[in-house]
Amino acid sequence: MEKSSKKNYQDILRTPFVLLFYIVGSIIVGNSLWILVMSKNGQPLTIILGFGLLFVGFVFATFRR
């Protein structure tokens, strides 16, 4: 009983963090793509970081289930 309620609490606690990962990651990717479009040389490191964040968020969401 106590264990299941703790799991539910963890689910509620975990969801906003995963959502935050996706939001931050997509904002970084969006900004990077905008920079890439505006200045032709762009910033590949920022794009890699952004996709890395999205991937980490996805893996975190999948394996914490």
Contact 21, 49 (CB under 8 A): no
Counting the structural domains of the chain, the total is 1
Mind listing the pLDDT tens digit for each residue in 11-65?
666 677 777 877 888 888 777 777 766 666 555 666 677 777 778 877 777 776 6
The pTM (predicted TM-score) of the whole model is 0.38
Give phi and psi for 39, each to the nearest 5: -110, 125
**Domain limits for position 41:** 2-63
Question: Alpha-carbon distance 46 to 34, whole Å?
Answer: 11
